Amino acid sequence: MLRVFEIADACLKRRQLDLAAASTIPDSALWVDLYAPTGEEIRKAEAFLGVTLPTKDEMEEIEASSRVYIEDEGLFMTTSIVSKTETEYPESAAVTFVLAKSRLLTIRYSEPMPFNTFPARAERQPGMWGTAEYLLVGILEAIVDRTADILERVGADVDSLSRESFDKPRHNQALDTKDFQSLLSRLGRQNDLIGKVRESLIGFSRILTFLTQTFEGKPGGKELRSYNKTITRDVASLADHTNFLSNKITFLLDAILGMINLEQNRIIKIISVATAVFLPPTLFASIWGMNFTHMPELQEPWAYPVALMVIVLSAVFPAVFFKWRGWL
């Protein structure tokens, strides 16, 4: 899909046109957004900007030189952006920003929310997005704001997990194994999401540093650099918060695993005590259950009640001893 945005009435607005019939992108376009583009759409975008766009495989390369570079008088910046965070399977996909001929072009194969919310907001803000550089910085700011919202939600979920993990069970009962499994599963999902956010923030730091150097000496560059530094500080604070959440999740994971070990030890202790209590009665019952011919006590009338008494006492004595030692 190819979307074209232009400045109309001092606001950023999407231009409605039949791109299937149009042979080229109109010169009035300020921002061209390519979402899962076809070969024909890529050809039109390359002809419009006069640059060679990276392929999907090239966008996914992790080398810094492949993610931020200058080519054909165009600035190419690629970073990973998190999407579908409200689902159980969040995604982190590469998005490329291209600045060339005072135009902005974005290439993406996912649908991060800011690419829909930012155009709607920019349409209500006249005079703010007159150049491609301001438009790029505005989109980056919208993505950073969205990332902050994601981290706030993750932080609330982690706090909820912390309360559930350390909440005292009722009636002195331990947490059920299924509860532990649920907590571990939720912690794993949050940790995976934080990892994707951290990867995205690293890419943003690289792009912002590159832009700060690029805006040096350009018309309006001082204001753009100031705007850019504000976003850079926001990214740094989000990175610190990401580390805090990651450490908290690691602590919760260790704590839950420790409680699982305690629960297992408690169960093993009960089984061990039960084994020790019933071992002596089993021993006496096994001795008197032997089928030897010469067992004198078997002929005595008192043998049966004495045997029962010995068996009971052999079970009671270990139980009393363990209770006295505080093992029960």
Question: What pLDDT, on the 0 to 100 scale, is given for residue 96?
Answer: 93
Cα separation values, 14 from 5, 8, 84, 102, 174, Å = 4, 9, 24, 18, 58
Q: Which residues contact 154 (CB under 8 A, 6 or more apart)?
A: 190, 193, 194, 197, 245
User: Which sequence spans correspond to the domains of the chain?
Assistant: 2-263, 269-324
CATH architecture of 2-263: 2-Layer Sandwich (3.30)
| Mean per-residue pLDDT, 67-84 | 88
Contact present, 232 and 204 (Cβ < 8 Å): no
The reported pTM is 0.78
Residue 279 has pLDDT above 70, yes or no: yes
Question: What pLDDT, on the 0 to 100 scale, is given for residue 244?
Answer: 93
Distance between CA 124 and CA 272 in Å, rounded?
72
Give the pLDDT band (50/70/90) at residue 19: low
Cα separation values, 53 from 56, 81, 206, 243, Å = 10, 19, 20, 34
| Mean per-residue pLDDT, 153-174 | 75
Residue 174 has pLDDT above 60, yes or no: no
Question: What pLDDT, on the 0 to 100 scale, is given for residue 233?
Answer: 92
288-295 contacts at long range (C-beta below 8 A, 24 or more positions apart): none
Residue 217 has pLDDT above 80, yes or no: no
Chain-wide mean pLDDT for the chain?
Answer: 84
Q: How many CB atoms lie within 10 A of CB 46?
A: 14
Per-residue pLDDT tens for 99-116?
A: 888 899 999 999 899 998
Q: Which SS3 state, helix, strand or coil, does residue 129 take?
A: coil
